[in-house]
Amino acid sequence: MKDGVQKERKRVLALKKTGKLHRETSVGAIGLTKFYGDKQNPSINDLSFAVNRAECFVLVGRDGSGKSTAIRLLVGSLDPTIGTSYVDGFDVNSNPKEAHRCLGYSPQESDALPGRLTGRETLTHYAYLRGLPESEIRNTVDNLLKDMHLDTYADKDCSEYADGDRRKLSMAVAFVGDPTVISLDEPTRGLDPKSKRAVWDQISKAVKDGKSVVLATNNMEECEALSNRLGIIDNGQFQFLGSIQQLRRSHGGGYTAEVYLHKSENGRIVRDQIERKFIGAVSKYLGDLRHEYQFTPQTKLSEVFQTLNQLHSNALVKYYSVKQTSLDQVFIDLTQPRSEEVSKNEVRRVKGV
């Protein structure tokens, strides 16, 4: 069973059954599914999760994994085929007006912004739509412009903004009106490090203030910096759901060795020797002369070096490198495209003897 996914589903259903779902969580989905044409291949397949108050939940996946579709279904900009989503106790599809009053949303596409307004006018426009008292609007707008590092361009037509600045303005719109739930689709894509940090600070502040944030990204650094929990999504399904610490315990903490051979026929000999030595390792074929081995957290690093040094001394391995398995590598392993899955001769679980 995929890590944490079934546990979260049971939690959501139990909260719903006892009437506590909307009291204890502020946004989530139950059995969310979306088909496009071919009903055998859903874009989103039976997602169930609930986000607590004062929590940042990150949907992380490669491009095309379904994370943006999940965000759109969650906020009601796309209708599900099956399932429901809710915001602050309101069903997004049957009661969208009430749900959207509680929701701030920044889509991936920045062309949703009005083109003939300045940045200041754009935020002022949304502040009126949100029903902010007129006495609070100017101060709210000024603070958002400053927080997003847009004050220099505040009175410039936003159609002339660079892509990164339009992205930040879209983010600022999501925070107008003090919504209880904020949903952000790849908010820092294309931003420079300084702007990215400003966005991260704004998200962290929102969570500290008790908001619920649902964020989609393909960046594990961003995920590690912001998430209380994350759902790794691939082909429209969760592959993992839990905290960064749980991800490290279940998939990280081991070592990865990249091995370069003197000749291709050495590959089987090297693999056989590693099989005998290390139980639970995973071998991956990267090319005729290049193989990768991932070792479990229980593996002793000294034994890895000892074995590889011996293979090098025996002229089987030309050279090698060893590093601790990173979260990026874990992400890649959990979201490997199906078209890139390789045969039993290319990737195999080492069973040991």
Domain identity same for 326 and 338: yes
Average pLDDT, the chain: 88
Domain identity same for 167 and 216: yes
Evaluate if residue 36 carries a pLDDT over 80: yes
Cβ–Cβ contacts within 10 Å for residue 205, how many?
Answer: 12
**Can you give the residue range of the structural domain that contains 93?**
5-249
Evaluate if residue 353 carries a pLDDT over 70: no
CATH of the domain at 324: 3.30.70.1110
Q: What percent of the chain has pLDDT over 70?
A: 93
What tens digit of pLDDT does each residue of 162-202 get? 989 999 999 999 999 999 999 999 999 989 988 999 999 99
Give me the mean pLDDT over the 148-163 stretch: 91
Q: Which of 316, 190, 203 is nearest to 261 (CA)?
A: 316
Domain identity same for 257 and 226: no
Residue at a domain's end among 183, 215, 249: 249
Domain identity same for 61 and 200: yes
Total of domains in the chain: 2
Domain identity same for 20 and 157: yes
Find the helix or strand (DSSP H, E) in which 321 lies. strand 317-324
Domain identity same for 107 and 239: yes
Most confidently predicted of 52-66, 266-280, 291-305 = 52-66
Domain identity same for 268 and 226: no
Give me the mean pLDDT over the 271-278 stretch: 88
Domain identity same for 276 and 138: no
56, 100 Cβ separation under 8 angstroms: no
Evaluate if residue 350 carries a pLDDT over 50: no
Domain identity same for 30 and 51: yes
Residue at a domain's end among 223, 249, 275: 249
pLDDT band at 124 (very low <50, low <70, confident <90, very high): very high
Give me the mean pLDDT over the 15-30 stretch: 93
Q: Give the pLDDT confidence score for residue 108 in this predicted structure.
A: 87
Evaluate if residue 286 carries a pLDDT over 70: yes
- Between 87-96, 196-205, 211-220, 284-293, the lowest mean confidence (pLDDT) is in 284-293
Residue at a domain's end among 200, 229, 249: 249
The structure's pTM equals 0.78
Q: Give the pLDDT confidence score for residue 346 in this predicted structure.
A: 39
Domain identity same for 139 and 272: no
Domain identity same for 154 and 266: no
CATH of the domain at 85: 3.40.50.300
pLDDT band at 340 (very low <50, low <70, confident <90, very high): very low
pLDDT band at 1 (very low <50, low <70, confident <90, very high): very low
Evaluate if residue 348 carries a pLDDT over 60: no
Give me the mean pLDDT over the 298-322 stretch: 90
Domain identity same for 242 and 266: no
Residue 226's region, left for phi above 0, alpha for psi from -120 to 50, else beta, is: alpha
180-to-57, 87, 145, 171, 241 alpha-carbon distances in Å: 14, 9, 20, 15, 23
Q: What percent of the chain has pLDDT over 90?
A: 62
Whole-number Å distance between alpha carbons of 233 and 183:
17
- Between 9-13, 228-232, 247-251, the lowest mean confidence (pLDDT) is in 247-251
